[in-house]
Amino acid sequence: MEWAQVVIEWVADLEVWAVVTMEWDKVETAWDKVDTEWGPMVEMEWVQTVAEEVVWDKEVWVAVTMEWDQMVETVWVQMVEMEWAQTVAEEEVWDLEVWDPEEMEWDKSAVRRTSSHVVKANMIKLSQLFSLICLILCVSENWAREAIRPSPDVGQIIDELHGLQLNDSQTPFVRGGPCKLDIQKDLPAADHLQPLYLHSNTDRYWLPNADGQLVVDHGASIELYCSKSFAKIDTANNVGYIPGKRLSMHVRCHHGNIFEWSGGRAAFHNFVCKQALEYRVERLEHQRCGDTEAANGDNETGHMYRVGYKISDDRFIRTIELCHNAQLLRTHYARYEMEPANWHFQKQVNRLKFSPAGHFAGYDMGKLYSQSHQESLMGPDMLDGRAGLFLARGHLAAKADLIYASQQRSSFNYVNAAPQWQSFNGGHWANVEDETRRFVARLGIPVSVYTGTFGELPWPGVGHNHSSLHLAHDANNNPVLVVPLLYYRLLIDNASNGQKRGIAIVGVNNPYVTVNQIHDENTSPSYVICEPIDAELVAWLRSLQNSNLRKGYLYACTVADLARAVKHLPRHLLQVHDLLTDTRPQEQKL
């Protein structure tokens, strides 16, 4: 009878176990429902990643894992103890059956109570354990539902998750590396119709770094713009399409040189325009330039012009700023920015035909610069095409001073040009342009560049008794499009704190002048308009100064000194006294 009672109590305990098992089955059923409802999304790799990441971000996953480990360990110990207790109880009952009843001295009821209490206690613990597991699963389910619930920015989440990839157990996820594009190799060929490369929704180019790489972080977007529309992408390795009338698109870095947009994915060099970009040269009516107080009437001053690409009424992507006098057909200076990356300007960009860009009404600028017209003014003996003795369209903002093909092409307008002897244009002045780019790259600093003209080149015997060489006359027979006496280039250090540093390089635009005439104080007009600095401070300039004067005579001075002589320059340049050279500031000697 006593053994039967033990069995009955054991069966009662099994019923408790069955209840716990049923509870667990309910949990499994609920979880199966979650799988059924969310299965298609859970199968998506990004949803699974988001769910895991949300759990980890709430710092619960680790805690749950620790609780689980502790529970497993506890349950295991308890299960072992139960097995042992059950075994002991069975052995004790077995012993009771084989012992001689007359020799039984121990309390059978105590055995029964002991074995029953051990089993019940452990079953209660198991019930509590499974209740805790159910609670954990319910909480996890809620977190998972929150994690996989679609939101308005789910597309952005997907984009960001493209950059997550499994790594080792110490760092479960890492973001993908940036897209690094060599502007010589990974962009459309220079003779193709490249779009503008912009920081999204700004008026700024996305410039390369000092190594000539256009770097876009993984998942970040770069804006591309075409004046008309984009060409169709149909190469075998690309997927997607671009709507035919789209002018602007934002593409995201996927990996390497692959970028994504809403219509697909393609290598970066496949994004090209259907038609060439159309730049503009716009006069800024309310922005005068030059020293208006020192100028002799309005005819001596000019207006600021901006060159670039108009995207909308409130977005204009500037490439160059110009101070231009429309009455005199003369540009006083061009202003633009230069960085170390400019050393890596895109090569093999086709030269365009110069354009009036909507200005110079009533003048045939191409004819005025022609050698036949020059010969009619100066006579054939003064010109020699092979020797570079003719007047060229001299860029102020040089083509090679600008990085992208779109920037370079915008430099081919007559507002950005002035008459310059070709022997000088392709001689020492070309060396100055090249050396200043190298100089900026070597110093690793951003600079503002002013390239301009000064004075009028005297030329005895030019028609109508005018003493300066000029290529045209206005309606009142006044000389216009005058040949400048000097060209200058200023570099202003934008990285310096406090007092600005800079340097001015001046070149003589006269292949027929001698060194004695240049330095003669009685020469009028004077070729030396600022105090030359020691040539030792500008090593790359020293080798050019006295070699082959037909290629141009050069000297350097401080920015403030030159600004005092050139009234058209902005007056704030009068404060740039410190010299920008390769030497440290404390080592400079003026």
> Which residues are designated catalytic?
395
Residue 237 assigned to a binding site: no
Q: Minimal CA–CA distance to 352: which of 193, 481, 470?
A: 193
Question: For 510-525, b where at least 16 C-beta lie within 10 A, e where not — what string?
Answer: bbebeeeebeeeeeee
Q: What secondary structure letter does DSSP report for 232?
A: P
Q: What secondary structure letter does DSSP report for 421?
A: E
Nearest-10 crossing angle of helices 61-98, 45-57:
90
**Number of Cβ within a 10 Å radius of residue 563:** 24
Q: Are 282 and 271 a contacting pair, CB within 8 Å? A: no
Determine which helix (DSSP H) or strand (DSSP E) holds 578, and give its type and residue range.
strand 578-579
Q: Which segments within 212-359 are labelled E, that is strand? A: 213-216, 221-225, 239-240, 248-255, 258-261, 264-267, 280-289, 302-312, 315-325, 330-338
Q: Are 415 and 361 a contacting pair, CB within 8 Å? A: no
Q: Minimal CA–CA distance to 487: which of 546, 547, 435, 417?
A: 417
How far apart are the C-alpha atoms of 408 and 77, rounded to whole Å?
78
Tokens of 70: 């502790």
How far apart are the C-alpha atoms of 590 and 578, rounded to whole Å?
9
How far apart are the C-alpha atoms of 371 and 180, rounded to whole Å?
46
Q: Minimal CA–CA distance to 197: which of 183, 211, 176, 218?
A: 183
Parallel, antiparallel or unpaired: strands 470-473 and 479-482: antiparallel
**Number of Cβ within a 10 Å radius of residue 119:** 22
How far apart are the C-alpha atoms of 532 and 513, rounded to whole Å?
18
Parallel, antiparallel or unpaired: strands 302-312 and 470-473: unpaired
Q: Minimal CA–CA distance to 123: which of 26, 294, 9?
A: 9
Q: Minimal CA–CA distance to 185: which of 255, 264, 257?
A: 257
How far apart are the C-alpha atoms of 70 and 66, rounded to whole Å?
6
How far apart are the C-alpha atoms of 72 and 75, rounded to whole Å?
5
Residue type, 581: T
Phi and psi at residue 265, in whole multiples of 5°?
-150, 140
Q: Which residues are annotated as a binding site?
A: 425
List residues forming the annotated binding site for Mg(2+).
Answer: 425
